[in-house]
Amino acid sequence: MRLTVTGNFLFKRLLHTEIAGNYAKQQPRNLKGRSKSSQEWLTRQLADPYVEKARMMNYRCRSAFKLLEMDDKYGILRPGDTVLDCGAAPGSWTQVAVERTNANGKQERAPQGAVFSIDLLHFHAVPGATIFGGMDFTSTLAQKRLRESLNGRQVNCVLSDMAPNATGVRMLDQESITNLCYEVLRFAIAMSAPQAHLVVKVWDNGDVPKLESNMLRFYEKVKRVKPRASRGDSAEHFLVARSFKGVPESSSKT
């Protein structure tokens, strides 16, 4: 469901009400026997308005609101678009992409899009999307399978919410997520339609400005975004790159 201007207004009001009201003060029960980190997680979930919103709107997780917000602001998903969702499990971005591209054909008068979603994990089907579960996006096999499924079709939007398993070693983790971003960028450059868009998740670190400037070689605009639904205590940001320019002459000769 695309939030209209009125819908957005009501949504903000609801969030405000939830944060200001009793909801934010709810305390989890039956915490006995749980570890401290599990207690903290439960408390945070209960105090988080996006968790309840996701449940009410049938999204598989709260992350849906990050993509909804970025799409509302930058208009990266349109009916009829072909979308690739990398790191898609449990599937809330895929749900949003299916709705907004009309990949499920629910909007009778709008063109029907297509969504291809891949994750290391197996996850439940999302009606309207083609799912590649249990596949590493960075593998040659996965990218071959994606190309075959696209069957010559160019992609209008590539999304990556991929995050590596954190080792706790800051430098290593930063390098891993940056490598994932470059892998996605490479695939997007090869498969994108003119004017296509790309969204990648980064953990704010010293590598991001270089990545940003590399993305700018191929896209008209690149914005660093922290959606409201992204937790304030997380280093997570997104780079939203709009309007794919194609491969510059100089790059294609190298």
Ligand X SMILES: C[S@@+](CC[C@H](N)C(=O)[O-])C[C@H]1O[C@@H](n2cnc3c(N)ncnc32)[C@H](O)[C@@H]1O
Q: Is 201 a catalytic residue?
A: yes
Q: Strands, DSSP E only, in 88-213?
A: 114-118, 129-132, 155-160, 192-203
Closest distance of CB 62 from ligand X, Å: 8
Residue type, 175: E
Binding residues for ligand X, per CB under 6 A?
A: 60-61, 63-64, 87-93, 118-121, 136-138, 161-164
Q: What is the chain's alpha carbon radius of gyration, rounded to the nearest angstrom?
A: 19
State which residue, 60 or 100, has the beta carbon closest to ligand X.
60
How many C-beta atoms lie closer than 10 Å to residue 221's C-beta? 12
Residue type, 65: F
Looking at beta carbons, which residue is closest to ligand X?
Answer: 87
The dihedral sign for the CA sequence 235, 123, 130, 57: negative
Closer residue to ligand X in complex, CB, 175/247 = 175
The pair of structure tokens assigned to 121 is: 């994990």
Nearer CB in complex with ligand X: 148/249: 148
User: Minimal distance in Å, beta carbon 250 to ligand X?
Assistant: 30
Active-site annotation holder among 201, 210, 223, 226: 201
Structure tokens at 173: 């983790």
Query: Smallest Cα–Cα separation from 102: which of 85, 78, 69?
Result: 78
Least gap, CB of 180 to ligand X (angstroms): 6
Least distance in Å: CB of 183 to ligand X?
8
DSSP states of 15-68: HHHHHHSGGGG------TT--HHHHHHHHHHHT-HHHHHHHHTT-SSTTHHHHH
DSSP state of 235: -
**Shortest Cβ 86–ligand X spacing (Å):** 6
Please state, in angstroms and as integers, the Cα–Cα distance from residue 113 to each residue in 103, 105, 151, 157, following that order: 4, 8, 14, 11
What residues are labeled active site?
201
